[in-house]
A and B are shown apart, each in its own frame.
Chain A
Amino acid sequence: MNESPVIDHEAMQEPPTRLVAVGATEAEPVSPLLIEDVTVAYHHRPVLWNIDYQAPSGKLIAIVGPNGSGKTTLIKATLDLVPRAAGQVLIFGEPYRQQRHRVGYVPQRTSVDWDFPVSALDVVAMGMYRKIGWLRPVSRKYRDAAKQALDRVGMVDFASRQINQLSGGQQQRVFLARALAQNADLYFMDEPFAGVDAATERAIVDILRQLRESGKTVIAVHHDLQTVHEYFDEVVLLNMRLIAAGPTADVFTPDNLRKTYGGKLALLDQLGEKMAQPRSR
């Protein structure tokens, strides 16, 4: 028998050229997310204009902005889910398609049909399909890993529950567990707190903090302005253009919020009053 030589396609590929962020030296850690001059248009109508942003490593980052301000689009453009009209995105210094394994994604809960005939465990296992590979069933090893991920979000008792029998908060936690099962370094979450109960909100916040402690970076679209200070270290204020970005204490100001929301929020005045009072931290 003539044994054909095994070709390692991975090894044959040229090592990807390392693109280092402008101004960063080799010694500094590469930013988990670098967005340069990104513009996105739907049907010739721009929804994001010239976004520039460099995310710090190991932080919880909120993307905040009114409806239709392009928050979800920014995440999708980053993950190559919508085409960019201009600009580039680097994940840990490389294009997304070379860093997929380091990125976890939690889409909006309402983006899927929860009447689909699978269990919570099946959904979580989907996060590892890439790792499992084509033509192979989900082995014991991966089922255990999926169970562990469910355990982290407090849902291990619901592993075999059909997803249409879960509450909204439980569904959100299953989605989170699916991303956790990927064991990524950078997580994108699209409105993880939307329509969840108080217990789920607390559970998710705990997970976010655990992720930060282990050096991961989380970028989440967030709607509740009241909790931004409490939950997030960094804020990206977005309304088709980047209004401001940076540490929450510096950036999440009434002035910037007014620029972002165009003075439409009555809430802003209350918030302004709160901010005016000397904070005891």
Chain B
Amino acid sequence: MSAASLLAVDSLWELFSRAISLRDYNTRVVLGGTTMLGISGGLVGTFLVLRKRALAADVVSHAALPGIAVAFLLAERLAPGSGRSTSVLLCGAFVSGLLGMAMTLAIRRWTRIKEDAALAIVLGLFFGLGMALFTVVQRTKTGNAAGLSHFIFGKAASMVASDVWLIGVVSVVIALLCCGVFKELSLLCFDEEFAAARGYRTVLLDWLLTLMAVTVTLIGLQSVGLLLVVALLLIPPTAARFWTNDLKVMSWLAAVIGGVSCAGGVVLSAAFPRLAAGAVIVLTGAGLFVVSLVLGKERGLWPRWQSQRQFERRIGRSDLLRACYELLEPILGPDQTTQESLTKYEIDNLELLSMRQWPAGRFQSMVSSAVRESLLDANFTGGYRLTLRGAAESRDAVRRHRLWEIYLLTQTDLDPRLVDRGADGIEHVLDPQQLADLERQLATHLPEGIPPSPHPIASAAIN
């Protein structure tokens, strides 16, 4: 028992190390070819996603099924034994895939059926037809052994070197083509009408993109299978979009993610032959997608949440410090609010809370984070005192706020009762760079120091 399991572990390790170290010529070729497939899938998929044609790829792959079956049956009838040739089967897949695509376009053009419905109809029709034809294939003498089901579920490891060379070369061609017409495709995806006005044949560009997507789909059938091949086109670009706002970076990243998930999938499925390669490839990609969704620098959930929190904290902090200042201002007198004098008076917790309509919980967390950042000193009596740093920042916050209030009062027709709110809005909505520019312009028209509030402070509490 234990010997057997040891043996299993041993052979597993043996398999794994063979896969990793690429000792097999075949594994090496499969790895190279499939990685190229992932790269070109990521590149083409980028434009497909931006052109909002994601579902079309799914239709093409499903529509390929009857073509494969028909090609097999025809080839067997004409020359028995030739039905297993990959190129024959892919030719059939290509024809019926394009036919499916053309039918979708025709339905959309000539009937009032909407695009999503047209896609679903064609997908169902062709896939159903394909399944029916497959039962016919299974009944033929050679059909069972022909490995046609690999086209449905994919089996990267079983591919022979000559097939993979085809996949690799076609992938490289597509990737190069994609880079060559990068400009034109990006213009097509962004502003089709402008492209047309500039004299681009947008219909031809669209067909070029469709053709590239169909080709990637078809050469991906063997390794990933037609059920999942669409993921090769869609997962990498959508994952890449979370990291960047730049199309070039996005397409490179999509190519890398596609390549990595394919390579990872091939290695894993070579190590564990019972795993379906297609599933492993797609799951690897999906894993990268989830990571991107959460951590992606530009649009990921975590960075977004972080910046939202930071923003709220910044607003809370400046509001709190302003309230401190405005509480002390009447005590000190308008011209006596120097940095040092602001630190001398104690601020009562309840009085501070009454300056604005803060929810109690938020107020507490604002105060305690201000204490943590040593802007406020907490007294054991339950009151607070501004630190030197806090005093300086509170003066800045008040000055900024009042500059805006005065600007709004003098330069716009805003109701004087609303300027406090308006100034708040400007301070909190503008980004720091814009704010700095505008404040520099404003400050040249105004005296140094902190101008008096243009409205009674009490109204701030009521507002």
Which residues of A have CB within 8 Å of B187? Answer: 126, 129
Does any Cβ of B come within 8 Å of A79's Cβ?
yes
Q: List 6 A-B contacts (CB under 8 A).
A: A105-B197, A111-B193, A118-B247, A119-B245, A130-B199, A178-B194
Name 9 extra pairs, CB < 8 A, besides A81-B196, A105-B197: A79-B197, A81-B193, A97-B199, A107-B193, A107-B194, A122-B186, A130-B198, A134-B181, A135-B181
Asked whether A117 and B198 contact (CB < 8 A) given A107-B193, A112-B190, A123-B190, the answer is: no
For chain B, residues 231 to 277, give those with C-beta under 8 angstroms from any C-beta of chain A.
241, 244-247, 250
| A119 and B194 contacting across the interface, CB-CB below 8 Å | no
Which residue from chain B places its CB closest to the CB of A125 in the assembled complex?
B183
Bound together, the chains give a CA A129 to CA B197 distance in angstroms of: 12
Which residues of A have CB within 8 Å of B194? Answer: 105, 107, 126, 178
Does any Cβ of A come within 8 Å of B24's Cβ?
no
B371 shortest CB reach to chain A, Å: 35
Which residue from chain A places its CB closest to the CB of B194 in the assembled complex?
A107
Does any Cβ of A come within 8 Å of B432's Cβ?
no
Does any Cβ of B come within 8 Å of A164's Cβ?
yes
Which residues of B have CB within 8 Å of A103? Answer: 197
The range of chain B's interface size is 20 to 34
Which residues of A have CB within 8 Å of B190? Answer: 112-113, 116, 118, 123, 126
Asked whether A107 and B191 contact (CB < 8 A) given A119-B246, A162-B245, the answer is: yes
Which residues of B have CB within 8 Å of A130? Answer: 198-200
Bound together, the chains give a CA A123 to CA B197 distance in angstroms of: 15
Contact with A137, one of B183, B241, B244, B247 (Cβ below 8 angstroms): B183
Does any Cβ of A come within 8 Å of B180's Cβ?
yes
Which residue from chain B places its CB closest to the CB of A112 in the assembled complex?
B191
Which residue from chain B places its CB closest to the CB of A114 in the assembled complex?
B190
Does any Cβ of B come within 8 Å of A243's Cβ?
no
Q: Mark B182-207, 1 if CB is under 8 A from A, else 0.
A: 11101101110110111110000000
For chain A, residues 74 to 128, give those with C-beta under 8 angstroms from any C-beta of chain B.
76, 79-81, 97, 100, 103, 105, 107, 111-113, 116-119, 122-123, 126-127
Bound together, the chains give a CA A107 to CA B246 distance in angstroms of: 23
B233 shortest CB reach to chain A, Å: 17
Q: Mark A128-165, 1 if CB is under 8 A from B, else 0.
A: 01101011111000000000000000000000001010
- B residues contacting A by CB (< 8 A) are 50, 180-184, 186-187, 189-191, 193-194, 196-200, 241, 244-247, 250
| A117 and B197 contacting across the interface, CB-CB below 8 Å | no
Asked whether A126 and B245 contact (CB < 8 A) given A81-B196, A132-B183, the answer is: no
- Most chain A CB within 10 A, of B184, B193, B246, is at B193
Which residue from chain A places its CB closest to the CB of B251 in the assembled complex?
A117
Asked whether A138 and B191 contact (CB < 8 A) given A81-B196, A116-B50, the answer is: no
Bound together, the chains give a CA A117 to CA B181 distance in angstroms of: 17
Q: Mark A167-202, 1 if CB is under 8 A from B, else 0.
A: 000000000001000000000000000000000000
A86 shortest CB reach to chain B, Å: 21
| B186 and A134 contacting across the interface, CB-CB below 8 Å | no
Which residue from chain B places its CB closest to the CB of A165 in the assembled complex?
B245
| B245 and A117 contacting across the interface, CB-CB below 8 Å | yes
Bound together, the chains give a CA A100 to CA B189 distance in angstroms of: 21
Which residue from chain B places its CB closest to the CB of A160 in the assembled complex?
B246
Bound together, the chains give a CA A162 to CA B299 distance in angstroms of: 13
Which residue from chain A places its CB closest to the CB of B202 in the assembled complex?
A81
Bound together, the chains give a CA A135 to CA B182 distance in angstroms of: 8
**In the complex, the 7 A-B pairs of residues with the closest C-beta atoms, listed nearest first:** A162-B245, A105-B197, A79-B197, A117-B247, A100-B199, A116-B190, A112-B191
Which residues of A have CB within 8 Å of B244? Answer: 117
Which residues of B have CB within 8 Å of A123? Answer: 190
| A117 and B183 contacting across the interface, CB-CB below 8 Å | no
Bound together, the chains give a CA A135 to CA B183 distance in angstroms of: 8
Bound together, the chains give a CA A178 to CA B244 distance in angstroms of: 23
| A135 and B245 contacting across the interface, CB-CB below 8 Å | no
B223 shortest CB reach to chain A, Å: 29
| B189 and A116 contacting across the interface, CB-CB below 8 Å | yes
Bound together, the chains give a CA A206 to CA B245 distance in angstroms of: 32
| A81 and B189 contacting across the interface, CB-CB below 8 Å | no
| A135 and B180 contacting across the interface, CB-CB below 8 Å | yes
For chain A, residues 214 to 250, give those with C-beta under 8 angstroms from any C-beta of chain B.
none
| B181 and A81 contacting across the interface, CB-CB below 8 Å | no
Bound together, the chains give a CA A174 to CA B182 distance in angstroms of: 21
Which residues of A have CB within 8 Å of B197? Answer: 79-81, 100, 103, 105, 107
Which residue from chain B places its CB closest to the CB of A138 in the assembled complex?
B183
- Most chain B CB within 10 A, of A129, A132, A137, A162, is at A129
Which residue from chain A places its CB closest to the CB of B46 in the assembled complex?
A117
| A118 and B183 contacting across the interface, CB-CB below 8 Å | no
A174 shortest CB reach to chain B, Å: 12
Which residue from chain B places its CB closest to the CB of A97 in the assembled complex?
B199
Which residues of A have CB within 8 Å of B184? Answer: 129, 134
| B191 and A111 contacting across the interface, CB-CB below 8 Å | yes
B108 shortest CB reach to chain A, Å: 14
B157 shortest CB reach to chain A, Å: 36
A126 shortest CB reach to chain B, Å: 5
A70 shortest CB reach to chain B, Å: 17
| B183 and A129 contacting across the interface, CB-CB below 8 Å | yes
Which residue from chain B places its CB closest to the CB of A126 in the assembled complex?
B187
B297 shortest CB reach to chain A, Å: 13
Asked whether A118 and B246 contact (CB < 8 A) given A81-B193, A112-B190, A129-B184, the answer is: yes
Q: Mark A244-265, 1 if CB is under 8 A from B, else 0.
A: 0000000000000000000000
| B191 and A117 contacting across the interface, CB-CB below 8 Å | no
Which residue from chain B places its CB closest to the CB of A133 in the assembled complex?
B183
Contact with A126, one of B181, B182, B191, B246 (Cβ below 8 angstroms): B191
Which residues of B have CB within 8 Å of A122? Answer: 186, 247
Asked whether A117 and B193 contact (CB < 8 A) given A126-B187, A129-B183, A130-B199, the answer is: no
Bound together, the chains give a CA A136 to CA B184 distance in angstroms of: 10
B291 shortest CB reach to chain A, Å: 19
Which residues of A have CB within 8 Å of B50? Answer: 116-117
Bound together, the chains give a CA A107 to CA B245 distance in angstroms of: 23
A40 shortest CB reach to chain B, Å: 16
